[in-house]
Amino acid sequence: MRDLLPEEAEHMRLIEMEAREVARLYGYREVITPLIEHYELLAAKIGEENRKRMYVFEDLGGRRVALRPEFTASIARLVSTKMVAEPKPIRLFSVGSLYRYDEPQFGRYREFWQANYELIGSSRPEADAEILSISNDLLRKTGLKDYYFKIGHVGVLRGILSEEGVKEAEQNRIMQLLDKKMQDEALNILKKQASERCLETLRRLFKVSGREWSRVIKEMNASVEGYEEASSAVENLEAILNLVSDAKMDLNVRVEAGFARGLEYYTGMIFEVYVPGMDIALGGGGRYDRLIELFGGGPTPASGVALGIDRIMLAVKGRRPGWTPTWEGLRVLVLPVNEEVKGKAMELSSRLREKGVAVEVEVMGRKVSRALSDASRRRITHVVIIGPKELREGKVVLRDMKNKEQRTVTVDEVADMLEGLQSGSSRISL
Ligand code: AMP
């Protein structure tokens, strides 16, 4: 787990702010769920790999609890208990830290942050397309351009395995292997329990992928012929991609028939987002139509996405080295030249803050010249120098740090000038 120093924390919060704005634009309302939940709830469908990596402990009440490794289980619990009567669709947004005992390396941490969007109550392709659109909008807002969506459909592989009578636990094991791209190992397990036709179909499917999605869909269709559930899964994927294309979302997609994800609750379209040169996903999501029912909420289809704030930050930094997350606009220092006017400096600082201006007051007792050189090092834009002589006439000195010009103005004028500059400046930039 890491300490995030001010610049990193600012970067993270900027991305979080964009994520919040996307939630607002799409009508997703924020919910805040606890960091700790019952182990069984979090472990139920997280998948073997992530289950092993959970931080699990017993609390003083003897309950077996864990730090959340993802948001979806908590959201499904919430919907199936406290929001059952809520009219559908329900659109929920969450943001916060998650915990997994991963091997720390570039972009892989034991504490990381996600922006999470869940669209609950619709089984239609529109819902899946909306989730893709949200992911696209957030990434575009951060300035990234070259990202692409790897897309598949769990229903294709699970459909084939179900028709072959492969039990769910076995299916989960196979999905875990496919998630790690261990296709030969997955086929080896199946050799004992599935038909030659099934193995042949899977071998064929594993080779089907590409960016021209209509060709890939055709090949998938041809490969799964005779497997009814798998065929309707391909149809569903095609409907989603058609909608993405009709809506002119301009998504860069790569469809992979053999793509699987480690989380066990997926039932439909699944996806991950990548940027070239980074082999870890910036985000991932998909459709999970049975999780809410599993938690006692009645049959409730749902689709969602989790975007990794830490990884988006790494991708943006890598592509935009000059990206400075400074809060643009004014940063004012109020500088009393001696002890006598310290109180006045604090009083004027408060008055400026009331007008929305960011003001730091000199607290180190520095002489004017040292305070000024320190101010330019810290990107202060304006300094208000308070001296007893000027103050007797109700005046102060306002210094513009950029062009190094200064003028003597009245206290009322300085407040008006800084307020005017403040309202004219944009507050933030990415
Ligand atoms: P998942 O819940 O595994 O689908 O993860 C969704 C997203 O969370 C990933 O695409 C990453 O952006 C982020 N993520 C998952 N695990 C980590 C980690 N150990 N460190 C940083 N980000 C992570």
pLDDT digits (tens, 9 = 90+) for 83-134: 999 999 999 999 999 999 999 999 999 999 999 999 999 999 999 999 999 9
Q: What's the gap in Å between 101 CA and the centre of ligand 1?
A: 12
Q: Which residues pair with 405 in a beta bridge?
A: 400
Average pLDDT over residues 164-184: 92
In this prediction, residue 325 has a pLDDT band, given cuts at 50, 70 and 90, of: low
User: Over 90: is that where the pLDDT of 424 sits?
Assistant: no
Nearest CA to ligand 1 atom 15: 308
- Report which secondary-structure segment, H or E, holds 218: helix 213-223
Helix (H, G, I), strand (E, B) or coil at 180: coil
| CATH architecture label of 6-319 | 2-Layer Sandwich (3.30)
The predicted pLDDT at position 422 comes to 82
Nearest CA to ligand 1 atom 14: 308
In this structure, the residue with its CA closest to atom 9 of ligand 1 is 283
φ and ψ of 112, to 5 deg: -145, 170
What residue's CA is closest to ligand 1, atom 21?
Answer: 108
**Inter-CA distances, 380 with 329, 333, 362, 406, Å:** 10, 7, 12, 14
Which residue CA neighbors atom 20 of ligand 1 most closely?
Answer: 108
Q: What tokens does 374 get?
A: 């320190």
266 phi/psi in degrees, rounded to 5: -70, 145
Task: Please state, in angstroms and as integers, the Cα–Cα distance from residue 269 to each residue in 66, 93, 162, 293, following that order.
Answer: 29, 20, 17, 19
DSSP code for 299: S
Question: Which CATH fold would you assign to the domain 328-429?
Answer: Rossmann fold (3.40.50)
Which atom of ligand 1 has the smallest separation from the CA of 102?
19
Pocket test for ligand 1, best of 1, 8, 113, 114 (most atoms within 8 A of CB): 114
Q: The tokens of 231 are what?
A: 């065929």
Please give the angle made by the CA atoms of 229, 235 and 239, to the nearest 5 degrees.
145
**Of the candidates 228, 231, 260, which has an alpha carbon nearest to the alpha carbon of residue 153?**
260
Alpha-carbon span 83 to 94, nearest angstrom: 16
pLDDT digits 0-9 by tens, 264-294: 999 999 999 999 999 999 999 999 999 999 9
The CA 106 to ligand 1 mean position distance, Å, reads 12
Question: Which pLDDT belongs to residue 192?
Answer: 86
Q: pLDDT higher for 329 or 109?
A: 109
Sheet holding 36-38, edge to edge: 36-38, 64-67, 56-58
Strand partners, 210: 255
Structure tokens at 9: 């924390």
Q: What is the Cα 429 distance to its own chain's centre?
A: 18
Domain with CATH 3.40.50.800 in the chain: 328-429
Q: How far is the CA of 113 from the centre of ligand 1 (A)?
A: 8
The average pLDDT across 23-41 equals: 98
Ligand 1, atom 10, residue with closest C-alpha = 283
pLDDT band at residue 327 under the 50/70/90 scheme: low
Is the pLDDT assigned to residue 378 strictly greater than 50?
A: yes
φ/ψ of residue 153, rounded to 5: -150, 115
Protein residue with its CA nearest to atom 13 in ligand 1: 308
Stretch 381-385: mean pLDDT: 96
The ranges of the chain annotated as CATH 3.30.930.10 are: 6-319
Residue with tokens 């999501």: 285
How high does pLDDT run on average in the chain? 94
Strand ranges across the sheet with 332-336: 359-361, 332-336, 382-386, 395-400, 405-410
Say how far apart CA 61 and CA 185 lie, in whole Å.
43
Tell how far the Cα of 108 is from the centroid of ligand 1, in angstroms.
8
Q: Which amino acid residue places its CA nearest to atom 1 of ligand 1?
A: 284
In testing the pocket of ligand 1, which one of 288, 310, 313 has its CB within 8 Å of the most ligand atoms?
A: 310
Q: Can you name the residues that pair with 304 across neighbouring β-strands?
A: 118, 286
- Kindly report each contact of residues 144-147 with a partner whose C-beta sits within 8 Å and lies 24 or more positions away, as own/partner: 144/275, 144/312, 144/315, 144/316, 144/319, 146/252, 146/275, 146/276, 146/319, 147/252, 147/273, 147/274, 147/275, 147/282, 147/315
Query: Cα–Cα distances in Å, from 295 out to 74, 81, 84, 305?
Result: 10, 8, 11, 20
Pocket test for ligand 1, best of 55, 94, 98 (most atoms within 8 A of CB): 98
The per-residue pLDDT for 426 is 42
Length of the chain, please? Answer: 430
Q: Ligand 1: which of 48, 108, 275 to mutate, most ligand atoms within 8 Å of CB?
A: 108
Q: How confident is the model at residue 427 (pLDDT cuts 50, 70, 90)?
A: very low
Using the mean position of ligand 1's atoms as its centre, give its distance from the Cα of residue 74 in Å.
16
Distance 114 CA to ligand 1 centre (A): 7
pLDDT tens string 336-377: 999 999 999 999 999 999 998 999 999 999 999 999 999 999
Residue 340 is classified by DSSP as G
Task: Give the number of the atom of ligand 1 that is nearest the alpha carbon of residue 312.
Answer: 12
Which residues, judged by CB distance below 6 Å to any ligand atom, belong to the binding site of ligand 1? 70, 100, 102, 107-109, 112, 114, 281-284, 306, 308, 310-311
Query: Which pLDDT score, from 0 to 100, does residue 330 have?
Result: 86
Half-sphere exposure of 114 (CA within 13 A, CB side): 29
What atom in ligand 1 is closest to the CA of residue 69? 2
- Checking DSSP bridges between strand 111-120 and strand 395-400, what pairing results, if any? unpaired
The per-residue b/e assignment along 288-311, b for 16 or more CB within 10 angstroms, e otherwise, is bbbbbeebebeebbbbbbbbbbbb
